[in-house]
Amino acid sequence: MTVLLSLLAAASYGLGDFVGGVASRRISPWAVALTAQLVGATVILALSLGVGGDPTGRDLWWGVAAGIGNGVGTAYLYRGLSSGRMGVVAPVSGVGAALLPVIVGVSTGERPASLAWLGIAVAFPAIWLVSREPAAAPPSGPSGLLDGVLAGLGFGTLFVALAQVGEDAGLLPLALNQVVGGVVIVVVATCLRKPWLPREPRAALGAVSGVLGAAATGLFMVASRGDQLTITAVVVSLYPAFTVVLAAMVLREHVHRAQAVGLVLCGAAVTLVALG
């Protein structure tokens, strides 16, 4: 069940990124990201009225921490991608998002089975290869490595923090994560002098991305409860595979050789983790 929920979360993240990426080709990605965060928060708040829950102060603070990680990860990922360094930023951030929860999980006593460890080991090159885009021309400016590392730390913090939320907390910490993430995105975009107000109608596509992202985060939060952070975070971090497959099927984008190898490794990683 943990692997199934994690795969559903990865599929939701991948589809959300695909929709957000399509929208960001014509309008400001910061506006799309902000719309996604706010719509996601609204949906979760509405659901929380029916779901109930009794979050403690600790749960709410973990929700705030998750939101900071969420906002920082999104902001530095977009800054890196806008510089033309997708081939560096995307794979570095993906590996970082998986690595930090693994370190935290193991340090707090999680001990996956041998096959699961093999799957985790396979997942890291899979994430790297499937996220990597060959550069048509060498971009000028910074390498993008720092942006990728900071984005990975941000998303890894999101995963670690949400895994600490109690089972009886309900959905309020998850909504808080979305709101705080939106605030961080606005602050960073303002500092970088990037347009973040969703003025154009196309920004509404961010609403679809927001609902999918919120669903994915909720699935992750459920799947990671107990001693499951290590496995859950790694499987969820395979979400770029879904984005690549969707881009190939819908937009007819070419899947280059490294990505094809990465997709095969993604399948192998999930199989090994499931068997473990």
pTM of the full predicted structure?
Answer: 0.86
Do residues 28 and 199 make contact, with C-beta atoms less than 8 angstroms apart? no
pLDDT digits (tens, 9 = 90+) for 152-184: 899 899 999 998 988 888 888 998 999 999 999
pLDDT at 20 (0 to 100) = 78
Ranges of residues in the chain whose predicted pLDDT is under 50: 137, 140
In order, the DSSP letters of 1-52 are -HHHHHHHHHHHHHHHHHHHHHHHTTS-HHHHHHHHHHHHHHHHHHHHHHH-
Do residues 112 and 120 make contact, with C-beta atoms less than 8 angstroms apart? yes
pLDDT digits (tens, 9 = 90+) for 29-41: 888 888 888 888 8
Q: Range of 124's domain?
A: 2-275
pLDDT at 142 (0 to 100) = 53
pLDDT at 187 (0 to 100) = 92
pLDDT at 87 (0 to 100) = 61
Domains of the chain: total: 1
pLDDT at 248 (0 to 100) = 83
Residues 116 and 269: their CA atoms lie apart, in Å, by 8
Cα(first)–Cα(last) distance of the chain, in Å? 13
3-state helix, strand, coil in the chain (%, to 5): 75, 0, 25
Question: Which residue, chain included where needed, has tokens 């961010």?
Answer: 206
Which residues lie below 8 Å from residue 88, measured CB to CB, with a gap of 6+? 80, 143, 144, 145, 148
From the number of C-beta atoms within 10 Å of its C-beta (0-12, 13-18, 19+), residue 270 rates as buried
